[in-house]
Structure 1
Amino acid sequence: MQSEKLKMKLEHWIEHNNSHAATFKKQAVEAGEMGFRDIETELLLAAEAMERAGSHLQKAREKLGCS
């Protein structure tokens, strides 16, 4: 049962991170369109970091025996 709980948490975190990464990318485009290039860059870096975190969460999920 504990592994099922962990699986559910990992799935939630993966989805949550993906959502944040997508939001950061969208906001980066908007910031760039407004001329805030430095903010655009930071938001894109934040999105990349979320994607890297998501990759680690996915690996953890796979090690739990989920595909």
Structure 2
Amino acid sequence: MIMKQFTIHQFNGLDDSTTQRLHSLGLQTGSVLTTVRFYPFHGPVIIQVDQQRIGIRYQVFRQLIGG
């Protein structure tokens, strides 16, 4: 599996509690994240940021990378 790196572009469009949780996990605008695993049918995405692996919803992932 090929791991790709993405830069977080924005937190716009996410609800306040999700944004707060992501910030508390160390994700900020400009942070570089690496995708570890995509689950089928737009399931969760496992990302790695600063040696920490986090599972997030597919819709949240798309919003973070500007998609």
The structure where helix makes up a greater share of residues is 1
Greater relative contact order, per chain length (Cα 8 Å cut-off, separation 6+): 1
Q: Is the pair's TM-score, using the shorter chain for normalization, greater than 0.5?
A: no
TM-score by length of 2: 0.26
TM-score, normalization: structure 1?
Answer: 0.26
